[in-house]
Amino acid sequence: MYYRFILVILQLKINLFETLQFNIHPDRDLSITDIFSKHGYPVELHELVTDDGYILTLHRIPRGKDYNKSNNEHPVLMVHGTCGGAENFIIAGPGKAISYYMADRGFDVWLLNTRGSRHSRKHTTLNPDTDKKYWDFGWHEVAVSDTPSAIDYILKVTNKTKLFYFGHSQGSTSYFAFASERPEYNSKINIAVNSAPSCLLGDVQNLVRLMGKHSSLIQELGNILNLHEIFPRGYTELLNLVLKTLCSEMTFFVDLCYAILYFGNVYGDMEPTTPQFVFSKAPGHCSLKQLLHYFQIVYSGKQYDYGVEGNLRMYGTKSPPLYSFSNMTAPIALFYASEDNICPSKGVERLAKLLPNLAMRYKVPSNTFGHVDFIFGKRVGRLVNEPVYQLFKKYL
C-alpha cells in the first residue's frame, strides 16, 4: 500500500512536469573565465608545481571592477572544499560571493584549485586518467604541500611577507593540518578565517557517521574495485549535465538537489536557481582518500590511518599521530552555523577551546544557514563577508 502511494505521487509529479517552466541561471553554462569577464572582474591564471610534482592552478582577481586602478595591496588565499574548485567562491555572484566582495574592498584575491580538482588535474610525471598513484592523496597532502606551495608563490609574486587566509569546509580542515605540520608558515599568515570548520566531527549524526564507522571496509572495497578517484573524467561531466538540468528551479527534483547540497536537509539560504549553477560546476574531481580521512576523523582526530602495518611504515607507530593544536599559532577565526549538519556547533565550540590564538568565534545569526551557505547563500554578504572583511581590516 505504501509503495502504491509513492508511485501515485510520482506519477502526479511527472504529469505536472510538462506544465512547469525551467528557470535557467544566466551564468550556468559559462566557463569560469567567462563568468569573471561577464561581471567585469579581471582574472589571471597562474600555475605552480608542488614539491611532489602536482601542477596547481590559481585564479587571481588582482583588483575589483575598476580596471584603472593598480593591483590591490593585500593578498588573500581562498581554499575550497572537497570536490570543489575556484568556482565555489564566485557562484553567489557580485555583491555576495566572497571573492568579489573582497576584491572590491582592496584585497588581491587568489583562488586555489587543490590537487586533482577540475583546474588542477596535472602532474609532472603522472597521468590522472591512467596512474592510480596520482590519486594517492587526501586533504593532508593539500595541507602539507599544496597550501605552503601556494603561499610561497603568492608572496613571491606580490612581494609581500604575509597574507590572509579564508577556507571553507575542507579548506578549513587542511588549514588546521597545515598550521600543525608546517608551523614555520604561521608567521606568514595575518589571520586565517575558517568557515564551516570540518575538524572535530564526533557529533555528526548523518550518513557521514555511518561511513566513519565502516571506513576501513570502504577503503578495502576501493582497493578491490581499483577505485581511487571520485567522479572521474567523463563521469563528472555527465553528472554535471544531468544534475544542472534536474535541479532547475521548477522541476520536481529540486528537493533532492537541496538534500544533496545540505546533506539531508531540504531547506537552506540559497536563491532558487543557485543549485543548478552549483551542480553545473560541482562535484569536480577528488580522491577517495580525501573522503576516507573525513570518515576516519568522525571517530579519531588523527592523521590518515593506513592500518597497523601501513602506519608502522608511514609513521613508525601502530596508530597515526595526532595533529598538534599548540603549533597553530597564527590568529584563527571560526565561522560556524547552527544548521550545519556536517560541522556541528558542539565540535566547533570544543575546537575553539583548543586553539592557542583564537581571534574570533562567530556563529551566524540565522536558523536556516547551512554548511554550503557560507559560499552559496543569498545573505552571505551581510552574514559572513562583512564580518570577515571587518576582521581582516583589524589585521592590516
Active site residues: 169, 340, 371
Cell numbers found for residue 299: 571517530
Q: 155 in helix, strand or coil?
A: helix
- Phi then psi for 77, rounded to 5 degrees? -100, 130
Angle at 364 between CA 334 and CA 366, to 5 degrees: 160
Which residue has cell 601502530? 318
Q: Percent helix, strand, coil in the chain (nearest 5)?
A: 45, 15, 40
DSSP state letters, 179-201: HHH-GGGGGGEEEEEEES--S--
**Helix boundaries (H) for the chain:** 2-17, 32-38, 98-103, 139-141, 147-158, 170-181, 207-213, 215-224, 235-246, 254-261, 274-281, 288-297, 307-314, 345-354, 373-376, 380, 386-394
Per the DSSP assignment, residues forming a β-bridge with 77 are 110, 165
Cell numbers found for residue 323: 595533529
Q: How many residues does the chain have?
A: 396
Asked if 283 and 116 count as a contact pair (C-beta separation under 8 A), the reply is: no
- Phi then psi for 55, rounded to 5 degrees? -100, 115
How far apart are alpha carbons 162 and 151 in whole angstroms? 9
